[in-house]
Amino acid sequence: MKQTVLITGAAGLIGGYLVRTAPRWVPDRDVRGVTRNEVDLTDGPEVQRLWDRHRPDLVIHCAALSRTGLCEQNPAQARRINVEATRLLADLARDVPFIFLSTDQVFDGAKGRYVETDAVHPLNVYAQTKAEAEQIVLANPAHVVVRIALTAGTSPTRDRSFVEDMVRTAAKKMTMTLFTDEFRCPISAGALVRALWEFAVQPRGGLYHLGGRERLSRWEIGELLAGRYPELRPWIHPGLVADYHGPPRPPDLSMRSDKIQALLSFPLPGFREWLTDESPDGGDLWDYPPTESR
């Protein structure tokens, strides 16, 4: 009998990619994606019924309130889904592998090139709830936290990835200031979920970082994206965090992914590599399904 994998947040960017790519990367698994329309994960009895219905052999928990602004506006809701729903699912999954997606934002960005042993210091509600959930998940030594980096791709609702945000902002003819002194390790959703699937079928408990190989400034990311999405070009311009007045922004959230890389069959690509990959399998491999403007 096929093993069952439960994916939460299946209508989101990463859950959506996991479900769509499952036939390619894990054809021998029965993958069930669950959306908020089907089950509200903050509703305990509903979650219990979901569990009893599927009895999964593996859980990849992608559901979250993932927008930092919405978490600031509604910290109680952020806690309910990001912390309490995670606690409930991790408890139900106590005897099976459980993979929780966390974020590079648990760091304050003062150091950069973060490794798994570095101390966290979240600067916003979103990051605080994720850091708290990490501790709950890691209390079970068989369970896994994967902190993922800024992820590019096409979401089912076309409004979730940072690339989709930028394209929509440009369509509204709004200018975007991209900092030359703020750094990330972006990755394409296609590469990210390929790595997640490879890891998920032989998970080893603990904490992992998963991001692109290349550390890039926000401005460099924007310039690279403008090569593929020329409509961005007139609306992006460089700036300095020093000139920005607003809530605290972590300057350098770059992460090292060596620990998970050692378990993968392919090299995690840099963002530039993904955007310029013209090989026959390139778009499919890194960005599945390929974005329309490729």
Asked if residue 11 binds ligand NAP (CB under 6 A), the reply is: yes
The one segment of 34-42, 112-120, 239-247, 251-259 that binds ligand NAP by CB under 6 A:
34-42
Q: What single string gives the DSSP state of each residue in 126-173?
A: HHHHHHHHHHHHHTSTT-EEEEE--EES--TTS-SSHHHHHHHHHHTT
Site for ligand NAP in 158-217 (CB under 6 A): 160
Q: Is 148 in the site for ligand NAP (CB under 6 A)?
A: yes
State the angle between helix axes of 85-92 and 125-138 in degrees (0 to 180), rounded to the nearest 10. Answer: 20
Burial class (CB in 10 A: 0-12, 13-18, 19+), 7: buried
Site for ligand NAP in 209-248 (CB under 6 A): none
Compare residues 71 and 236 and give the one whose CB is closer to ligand NAP. 71
* Residue 203: burial class (beta carbons within 10 Å; 0-12, 13-18, 19+): buried
What does each C-alpha distance from 185 to 79, 160, 168, 244 come to in angstroms?
Answer: 27, 18, 22, 22
The interface mask with ligand NAP, positions 101-120, x = CB under 6 A, is: x-x-----------------
Cβ nearer to ligand NAP, comparing 125 with 242? 125
**Is residue 9 at the binding interface for ligand NAP, with CB under 6 A as the rule?**
yes
Tell me if 14 contacts ligand NAP by CB under 6 A: yes
The two structure tokens encoding residue 217: 């400034």
* Residue 2 or 56 with smaller CB distance to ligand NAP: 56
Say how many residues touch ligand NAP, by CB under 6 A. 23
The least distance separating ligand NAP from the CB of residue 280, rounded to whole angstroms, comes to 27
Task: Decide: 33 and 19 in contact? Cβ < 8 Å.
Answer: yes
Q: Of the ranges 87-95, 143-151, 229-237, 262-270, which one interacts with ligand NAP (CB under 6 A)?
A: 143-151
Among positions 64-83, residues that touch ligand NAP (CB under 6 A) are 64-66, 81
Distances (CA, A) of 157 to 10, 11, 39, 53, 154: 11, 7, 18, 27, 8
Residue ranges in contact with ligand NAP by CB under 6 A? 9, 11-15, 36, 40-42, 62-66, 81, 101, 103, 148, 150-151, 155, 160
